């Protein structure tokens, strides 16, 4: 039978609608407005699961995110682990079960959408309780751009959990009016179900909006389930309220033991009686409200156990009227019960000594040890906390830049005070904008609260149970006890951060919302130091757990990382190309024909290029237009080669080094005019090289009249490669004399195709006769198609990056970033010829003279031929040298270097590799070994150029 514990009326639930759900397989019902926890309590179910280490039954101990116990896993309609029953809004069809501390990740993809929104405001108010609403109204009325975010399903905060009156009517009526007023202000963004979980520099706050979670299976698919709001505010008002703090005593973890304020919330907000017979244990006035409200609702309150010697004299009459016995100067020392608390053990407390206890029957034990302001967001923004001896809590200290706490979050305890504080903080924010407060920004008046009795700070009740603190739980989720803190202190730990890590207190889903300050207090007691000296552990985002899916937002799947494609990408797709990622670029790797794997396709593509003609989409090459009277001066300084001597119409290969003399990029340079060059970079180096040039021009040589502009996407680049490339180019571009004498190697020529300017350059990255075709990318597909059509009679073969890599490696051309790793000089690559001896200086030149850079034992680029003629060495393989007697040296075996590139060669008819090998060039002809799968593969060291070392092919 369900709903035995539902009140006859009241609460903010919609009793006209019944929702069905299952928990641990049990079929139950609830109403819209319920949380999973309130629906379970309404069914009389307190116990959620057993604890993580000790297997003790645990129940609902709070009413919202502070609950350290009630972890559940949702199974339907979507699997989601580690949620709090107190924060899961009930929906029809929900299926969940309790979790003993650990959830299970879903094994199906999360099909929901997630997104993010940036939003800028003058004033961000976090929390829509009395202080937050007052602040938001004050700011909105002044015309400020305002955002108000609140984690609950509706605004009101603590006003939803009580019976407060404002202007003589229920406070919830004012809440409704305030919400309406805000809704009518065009510059106000008001979000409920939105938890501000991180507070950062410069008014930046991250908030998670749960947009459709509460709709369950009825959630529309096109809406994001959750949204991360990236809020930027000139002023932030933290009106996040306060968390009630328990008192620790023996066996304080049984189901049926909960925070006093939580019981009040379940009663007033959800129409649920959390029990029939209650004992209320308190150190302060606030729990009297819970006792009286529950009593009025029909709960038999067996006793208010007030630790203060005089209790709360001003509440005495009310309790007497309600027939509630009050036991001042008393404490709860322990409990009985297993699945549910059955008795509270109550004893007098005098002079720190606990007297003999008596058992009071109850099925509900409410506890209040005071209130901790929710200072998390204030502290995350590097606000300094100060300990308040009277409240036994850490309060915000001075305001941090553009961020201030208001209301209960600032330690204000009464309603009138919270309203006034919200307005005060909002006005201060307005003054900083600056904006004038509205002429009429009146707030309602709250009745005067009586003279409160001072709270007593009590962290724990001495353990008289004989368990020596081992059942006095501080962090219920972690099963961490007073005994654990004592052990930490006994082990010599003094820092609260160390105690946290030793005991794991505060490391669970709730991040110590109820246990953190208790730990500070108990640790201070055990160490015999003031709490202010102990301090708290550091508050870090997120305030409540946030799923990775929400953080990823729409950056998933295809949108995870931009896919950059060239202007002829569609053609490659249509041809069935297999693609590979090169940085963010997606490039054809090879074009398999039916039945071909990559090896077969690449061998075919390589053979076609070397025997006839192939075509590559090289458009991803970085291209930088370098222009100005001092263009040549700049290039002379950034390349190791001499570029100023390059003639207009010619091309030169160049190498770039960092100041440390290590190669950072390479590529060809076309001199377009006396004052203009086109510098080509590697695909991956395009942005880096432009930034590099800009850095030097802007920061070191502002006097140079030179400008660098990226034209990477302006020009497509199509290398047409192979002995028949001249025929193809000649056919497509009849206006160009392609004869070797007229158009020699490392020259470029301009022509037109149907009136469109085209640039041709004789550059070869394969050793073959080759032409690179450059054209405005608008015409990419048209020009590509012309080349393919003209090449058809020569069997023109489109080839991808894999074949490009094989062809260049056969010629010993390094790929910067693959054959180099930031520790390789041009000399190591065998490119001393590319390092000018004429120039007085260039970037990195001085480093070449450093002893480390002239050491003959440096690693150098060489070729490797596995002597078995079969093994393709894995790239990254280490290279070792055997003793003359053929024995491996004793460990640690010296590593001479590693394989940087390795392929099968159609031309050589065998696999080959490039490698960086210590003193490699002096080892040419030697046999070294590569450890591979438990054996040693002998390899012959060769020069890095393995195909056509004479360069006979480049002119066709």
Partner 1 sequence: MQLIACPWCGPREEVEFSYGGQAHVPHPAAPADLSDEEWAHYVFFRANPKGRFAERWNHSAGCRRWFNAVRDTATYRFEAVYRLDEPRPVTP
Partner 2 sequence: MAELLRTHPLEAWTDTFAVLPAAVGITVEPFVAMADVRLGAVAPDVQARLGVDLPTVPNTWVPTGDGRAIWLGPDEWLLTSTAETPEALEDRLRAVLVPHGGAAVDVSAQRIGLRLTGERVRDVLARGCALDLHPRVFGWGACAQTTLGLAGVVLLALSDDGSDHVVLVRSSFAGYLADWLLDAALEFTTTEQ
Residues of the shown chain interacting with partner 1 in the complex, contacts defined by CB under 8 A: 200-202, 204, 230, 382, 659-660, 691, 694-695, 698-700, 702, 840-841, 845-847, 849-851
Shortest Cβ 715–partner 2 spacing (Å): 8
DSSP 465: S
Q: Which of 829, 131, 31 is nearest to 423 (CA)?
A: 131
- Pick from 712, 717, 797, 836 the residue near partner 2 by CB under 8 A: 712
The distance of closest approach from Cβ of residue 256 to partner 2 in the complex, given in angstroms and rounded to an integer, is: 44
* Residue 847 interacting partner from partner 1, partner 2, none (CB closer than 5 to 8 Å by kind): partner 1
Binder among 441, 525, 596, 713 for partner 2 (CB under 8 A): 713
- CA torsion, points 624, 629, 631, 636, in degrees to nearest 10? 170
The binding track of 605-624 with respect to partner 2, each residue x by CB under 8 A or -, is ---------------x----
Measured from the CB atom, is 530 or 735 closer to partner 2?
Answer: 735
Is residue 715 a contact partner of residue 776, using CB atoms and an 8 Å limit? yes
User: How far apart are alpha carbons 589 and 699 in whole angstroms?
Assistant: 39
- State in angstroms the smallest separation of the CB of 680 from partner 1: 20
The least distance separating partner 2 from the CB of residue 297, rounded to whole angstroms, comes to 41
Partner from partner 1, partner 2, none contacting 883, C-beta within 5 to 8 A by type? none
Q: Which position among 780, 835, 864, 939 is part of the footprint of partner 2 (CB under 8 A)?
A: 780
Q: Rank residues 145 and 929 by Cβ distance to partner 2 and give the closer one.
A: 145
Rounded to whole angstroms, the Cα distance separating 665 from 353 reads 77
Where helices occur in 127-254 by DSSP H, the ranges are 130-141, 171-183
| Residue 497: half-sphere exposure toward Cβ, Cα within 13 Å | 3
User: Which residue, 341 or 403, has its beta carbon nearer to partner 1?
Assistant: 403
Q: 104-133 mask for partner 2 (x: CB under 8 A)?
A: ---------x-xxxxxx-------------
Interacting partner of 562 out of partner 2, partner 1, none (Cβ under 5 to 8 A depending on kind)? partner 2
Q: Which stretch binds partner 2 (CB under 8 A): 9-17, 62-70, 702-710, 845-853?
A: 702-710
Rounded CA gap, 341 and 349, in Å? 22
Least distance (Å) from partner 2 to the CB of residue 713?
A: 4
Could you say which of partner 1, partner 2, none residue 845 binds, taking C-beta under 5 to 8 angstroms by partner kind?
A: partner 1
Three-state secondary structure readout of 402-460: CEEECHHHHCCCCHHHHHHHHHHHHHHHHHHCCCCCCCCCCCCCCCCCCCCCCCCCCCE
Select the binding partner of residue 691 from partner 1, partner 2, none (C-beta < 5 to 8 A, by kind).
partner 1
Cβ proximity of 36 and 63 under 8 Å: no
Measured CA to CA, the distance from residue 935 to residue 282 in angstroms comes to 74
- Taking the C-alpha atoms of residue 698 and residue 886, their distance in angstroms, rounded to an integer, is 57
CB of 705 to partner 1, least distance (A): 16
Which residues in 136-175 contact partner 2 (CB under 8 A)? 145
User: What span, in angstroms and rounded, lies between the C-alpha atoms of 582 and 566?
Assistant: 12
> Closest CB to partner 2 among 302 and 620?
620
CB closer to partner 2 out of 230 and 336 = 230
Q: Helix 496-503 vs helix 482-490: angle between axes, to the nearest 10 degrees?
A: 120
Shortest distance (Å) from residue 517 CB to partner 1: 26
- 3-class state of residue 671 by DSSP: strand
Contacts for 569 with CB less than 8 Å, ≥ 6 apart? 586
- Per CB under 8 A, does 714 bind partner 2? yes
In the bound complex, what is the minimum distance in angstroms from residue 267's beta carbon to partner 1? Answer: 42
Applying CB under 8 A, among 715, 771, 774, 794 the residue interacting with partner 2 is: 715
| Residue 504 makes contact with partner 2 by CB under 8 A | no
| C-beta separation of 898 from 915 below 8 A | yes
Residues 6+ away with beta carbon under 8 Å from 658: 664, 843, 844
User: In terms of Cα–Cα distance, which of 410, 382, 383 is closest to 395?
Assistant: 410
Q: Which residue from 215, 779, 872, 908 is in contact with partner 2, where contact means CB under 8 A? A: 779
Residue 165 partner contact from partner 1, partner 2, none using kind-dependent CB cut-offs of 5 to 8 Å: none
**Single residue of 540, 554, 793, 857 touching partner 2 by CB under 8 A:** 554
- CA–centroid distance for 524 within its chain: 35
203 near 369, Cβ under 8 Å? no
Q: Using the rule CB under 8 A, which residue among 778, 850, 852, 869 binds partner 2?
A: 778
- Which is closer to partner 1, CB of 120 or CB of 296? 120
Q: Which span sits near partner 2 by CB under 8 A: 102-110, 387-395, 552-560, 733-741?
A: 552-560
C-beta of 678: minimal distance to partner 2 in Å? 10
In angstroms, rounded to a whole number, what is the distance separating the alpha carbons of residues 196 and 206? 6
781 near partner 2, rule: CB under 8 A: yes
Does residue 833 belong to the site contacting partner 2 (CB under 8 A)? no
Residue 707 interacts with, from partner 1, partner 2, none (CB under 5-8 Å by kind): partner 2
Measured between alpha carbons, how far is 481 from 475 in angstroms, rounded to an integer? 7
Our finding on whether 638 is near partner 2 (CB under 8 A) is no
Chosen from partner 2, partner 1, none, partner binding at 629 (C-beta under 5 to 8 Å by type): partner 2
Output 919-922 pairs: Cβ under 8 A, ≥24 positions apart. 919/856, 919/857, 919/858, 919/860, 920/859, 920/860, 920/861, 920/862, 921/830, 921/860, 921/862, 922/856
Stretch of residues binding partner 2 (CB under 8 A), selected from 414-422, 608-616, 778-786, 804-812: 778-786
What CA–CA distance (Å, rounded) separates 277 from 299?
A: 6
The Cα 38–Cα 269 span in angstroms is 9
754 binds, among partner 2, partner 1, none (CB under 5 to 8 A by kind): partner 2
Residue 880 makes contact with partner 2 by CB under 8 A: no
- Establish if 194 lies at the interface with partner 2 (CB under 8 A): no
- The half-sphere exposure of 45 on its side-chain side, counting CA atoms within 13 A, is 23
73 closest CA partner among 98, 36, 105, 106: 98
Q: Please report whether residue 559 would count as binding partner 2 according to CB under 8 A.
A: yes
CB of 207 to partner 2, least distance (A): 14
Q: Is the dihedral of CA 314, 367, 171, 297 positive or negative?
A: negative
Does residue 501 belong to the site contacting partner 2 (CB under 8 A)?
A: no
- Mark the segment that binds partner 2 (CB under 8 A) among 16-24, 298-306, 382-390, 748-756: 748-756
Cβ at position 224, least distance to partner 1 in Å: 21
Q: Would you say 29 or 776 has its CB closer to partner 2?
A: 776
Distance separating alpha carbons of residues 8 and 278, to the nearest angstrom: 19
Instruction: For residue 628, state whether it binds partner 2 (rule: CB under 8 A).
Output: yes
779, burial (CB in 10 Å: exposed 0-12, middle 13-18, buried 19+): middle
Interaction of residue 55 with partner 2, rule CB under 8 A: no
CA 57/CA 812 separation, integer angstroms: 70
DSSP string covering 62-94: -SSTT-SS-EEEEEESS-EEEEETTT-B--TTE
Question: Closest CB to partner 1 among 737 and 841?
Answer: 841
| Residue of the chain from 61, 655, 669, 777 that contacts partner 2 (CB under 8 A) | 777
Contact letters for partner 2, residues 228-267 (x by CB under 8 A): --x-x-----------------------------------
Which residues form the interface with partner 2 (CB under 8 A)?
113, 115-120, 145, 220, 222-224, 230, 232, 554-555, 558-559, 561-567, 569-570, 585, 620, 625, 627-629, 675, 705, 707, 709-715, 753-757, 776-783
């Amino acid at each position: 039978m369900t709903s035995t514990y539902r009140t006859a009326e009241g609460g903010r639930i919609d009793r006209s609608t019944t929702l069905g759900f299952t928990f641990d397989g049990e079929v139950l019902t609830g109403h819209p407005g319920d949380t999973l926890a309130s629906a379970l309590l309404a069914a009389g179910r307190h116990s959620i699961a057993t604890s993580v280490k000790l297997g003790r039954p645990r129940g609902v101990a709070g009413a919202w995110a502070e609950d350290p116990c009630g972890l559940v896993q949702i199974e339907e309609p979507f699997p989601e682990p580690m949620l709090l029953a107190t924060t899961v809004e009930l929906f029809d069809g929900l299926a969940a079960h309790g979790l003993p501390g650990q959830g299970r990740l879903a094994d199906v993809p999360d099909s929901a959408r997630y997104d993010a929104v940036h939003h800028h405001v003058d004033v961000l108010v976090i929390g829509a309780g009395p202080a937050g609403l007052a602040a938001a109204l004050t700011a909105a009325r002044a015309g400020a751009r305002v955002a108000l975010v609140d984690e609950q399903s509706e605004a009101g905060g603590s006003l939803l959990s009580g019976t407060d009156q404002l202007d003589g009517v229920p406070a919830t009526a004012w809440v409704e009016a305030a919400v309406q007023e805000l809704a009518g202000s065009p510059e106000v963004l008001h979000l409920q179900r939105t938890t501000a979980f991180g507070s950062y520099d410069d008014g930046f706050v991250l908030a998670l909006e749960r947009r459709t979670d509460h709709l369950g299976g009825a959630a529309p698919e096109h809406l994001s389930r959750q949204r991360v709001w990236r809020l930027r505010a000139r002023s932030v008002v933290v009106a996040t309220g306060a968390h009630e703090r328990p008192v620790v005593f023996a066996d304080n973890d049984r189901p049926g033991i909960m925070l006093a304020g939580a019981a009040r919330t379940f009663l007033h907000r959800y129409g649920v009686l959390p029990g029939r017979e209650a004992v209320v244990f308190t150190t302060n006035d606030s729990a009297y409200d819970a006792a009286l409200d529950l009593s009025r609702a029909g709960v038999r309150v067996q006793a208010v156990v007030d630790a203060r010697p005089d209790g709360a004299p001003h509440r005495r009459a009310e309790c007497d009227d309600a027939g509630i016995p009050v036991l001042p100067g008393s404490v709860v020392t322990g409990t009985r019960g297993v699945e549910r608390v059955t008795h509270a053990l109550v004893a007098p407390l005098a002079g720190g000594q606990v007297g003999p206890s008596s058992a009071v029957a109850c099925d509900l034990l409410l506890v209040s040890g005071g209130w901790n302001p929710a200072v998390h967001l204030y502290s995350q923004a590097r606000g300094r906390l100060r300990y308040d001896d009277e409240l036994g809590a850490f309060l915000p200290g001075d305001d941090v830049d553009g961020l201030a706490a208001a209301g209960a979050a600032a330690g204000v305890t009464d309603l009138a005070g919270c309203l006034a504080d919200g307005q005060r903080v909002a006005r201060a924010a307005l003054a900083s904008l600056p904006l004038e407060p509205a002429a009429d920004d009146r707030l309602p008046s709250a009745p005067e609260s009586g003279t409160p009795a001072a709270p007593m700070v009590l962290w724990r009740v001495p353990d008289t149970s004989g368990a020596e603190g081992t059942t006095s739980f501080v962090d219920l989720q972690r099963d961490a006890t007073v005994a654990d803190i004592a052990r930490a202190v006994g082990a010599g730990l003094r820092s609260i951060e160390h105690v946290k890590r030793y005991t794991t207190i505060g490391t669970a889903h709730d991040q110590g919302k109820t246990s953190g300050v208790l730990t500070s207090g108990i640790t201070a007691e055990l160490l015999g130091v003031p709490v202010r000296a102990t301090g708290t552990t550091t508050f870090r985002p997120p305030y409540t757990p946030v799923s990775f899916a929400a953080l990823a937002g729409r950056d998933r799947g295809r949108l995870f990382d931009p896919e950059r494609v060239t202007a002829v990408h569609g053609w490659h797709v249509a041809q069935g190309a297999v693609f590979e990622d090169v940085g963010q670029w997606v490039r054809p790797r090879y074009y398999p024909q039916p039945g071909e794997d990559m090896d077969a396709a690449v061998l075919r593509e390589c053979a076609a290029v070397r025997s006839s003609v192939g075509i590559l989409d090289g458009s991803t090459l970085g291209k930088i237009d370098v222009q100005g009277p001092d263009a040549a001066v700049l290039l002379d300084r950034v390349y190791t080669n001499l570029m100023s001597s390059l003639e207009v119409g010619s091309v030169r290969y160049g190498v770039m080094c960092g100041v440390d003399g290590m190669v950072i990029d390479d590529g060809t340079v076309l001199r377009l005019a006396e004052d203009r060059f086109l510098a080509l970079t590697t695909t991956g180096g395009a942005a880096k090289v432009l930034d590099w040039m800009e850095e030097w021009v802007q920061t070191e040589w502002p006097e140079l009249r030179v400008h660098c502009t990226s034209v990477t996407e302006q020009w497509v680049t199509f290398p047409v490669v192979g002995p028949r490339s001249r025929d193809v180019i000649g056919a497509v571009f009849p206006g160009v004399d392609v004869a070797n004498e007229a158009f020699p190697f490392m020259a470029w020529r301009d022509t037109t195709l149907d009136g469109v300017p085209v640039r041709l350059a004789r550059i070869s990255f394969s050793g073959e006769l080759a032409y690179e075709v450059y054209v405005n990318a608008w015409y990419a597909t048209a020009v590509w198609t012309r080349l393919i059509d003209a090449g058809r009679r020569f069997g023109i073969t489109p080839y991808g990056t894999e074949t490009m890599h094989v062809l260049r490696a056969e010629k010993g051309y390094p790929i910067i970033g693959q054959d180099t790793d930031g520790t390789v000089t041009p000399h190591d690559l065998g490119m001393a010829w590319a390092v000018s001896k004429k120039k007085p200086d260039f970037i990195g030149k001085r480093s070449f003279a450093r002893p480390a850079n002239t050491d003959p034992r440096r690693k150098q680029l060489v070729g490797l031929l596995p002597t078995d003629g079969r093994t393709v060495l894995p790239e990254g393989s280490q290279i070792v040298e055997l003793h003359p007697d053929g024995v491996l040296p004793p460990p640690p075996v010296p590593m001479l270097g590693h394989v940087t590139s390795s392929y099968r060669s159609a031309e050589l008819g065998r696999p080959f590799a490039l490698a960086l090998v210590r003193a490699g060039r002096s080892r040419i002809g030697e046999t070294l070994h590569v450890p591979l799968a438990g054996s040693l593969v002998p390899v012959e060291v060769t020069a890095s150029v393995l195909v056509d070392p004479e360069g006979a092919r480049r002119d066709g």
